[in-house]
Amino acid sequence: MALQLILNFSLAFLWMFLSDNYTASGFIIGFLLGMLSVISMRRFFPGRLYTGRIWAMIKLTILFLKELVLANVAVLKVVLKPKLDMAPAFFKYETTLTREWEITLLSSLITLTPGTVVVHISDDSKYLFVHAIDAADVEGTIHSIRDSFEKAILEVSRA
């Protein structure tokens, strides 16, 4: 991925110098032409095209922002209720992620979402111990994390 991105930037700068257009629009045109060149040569690169990974990163960011807003609304509802009828819970989340940065990203996303916090990661990095402020359905919460954050992280790192 890094080689493809460096090649694309190099082609963009080469276009700027050859066309004698040192403006942002000249760079953007060169970048788009470089992207077309990289796409046409994709069979010569190992792994997938970098644009797919960048798109997956954008989708992960949008997913996090959406979950952040929804979690803030849910915590606000819990706080503003006159009677506290929440069900706090600790649960063990088994992850399929293996790389350290993937596990760190997952625990950071869980912790940054209001109402949940990762309190411990097991020594073998297979389990995350999570505290949720309102988790009446622990299995639902586990499936929610697996289907949203973990799936998006896998799409960024492996697919």
Summarize pLDDT for 85-105 with one digit per residue, the tens: 888 889 999 999 999 999 999
For residue 25, what are the domain limits? Answer: 2-44
Same domain flag for 149 and 74: yes
Greater model confidence, 119 or 79: 119
Could you tell me the pLDDT band of residue 149, with boundaries at 50, 70 and 90?
Answer: very high
- Cβ proximity of 49 and 42 under 8 Å: yes
Q: What is the pLDDT of residue 135?
A: 82
> Which residue in this structure is represented by tokens 């979402």?
113
At 130 the pLDDT is: 95
36 shares its domain with 91: no
Same domain, 9 and 77: no
| Same domain, yes or no: 69 and 124 | yes
pLDDT 10s digits, 42-85: 888 777 788 888 889 999 999 999 999 998 998 888 888 888 88
Q: How many domains does the chain have?
A: 2
Helix 50-80 and helix 24-40, axial crossing angle in degrees, nearest 10:
110
Residues 31 and 7 in one domain: yes
Can you tell me the distance from the alpha carbon of 146 to that of 151, in angstroms, rounded to the nearest whole number?
Answer: 6
Q: Check residue 158 and give its pLDDT.
A: 79
Of 158, 144, 157, the closest CA to residue 63 belongs to 144
Q: What is the mean pLDDT of the chain?
A: 90
Confidence of residue 159 (pLDDT cuts 50, 70, 90): low
Q: How far is CA 71 from the centre of its chain?
A: 17
pLDDT of residue 114: 87
pLDDT computed for residue 1 by the predictor: 65
Here the CATH number for the domain that contains residue 97 is 3.30.70
Q: Do residues 107 and 140 share a domain?
A: yes
* Same-domain check for residues 38 and 11: yes
> 39 and 63 share a domain?
no
In what helix (H) or strand (E) does residue 52 lie, and over which residues does it extend? Answer: helix 50-80
100 and 139 together in one domain: yes
18 and 90 belong to one structural domain: no
Residues 10 and 39 in one domain: yes
Write down the pLDDT at residue 122.
Answer: 94
What integer is the mean pLDDT of 23-34?
93
> pLDDT value at position 27?
93
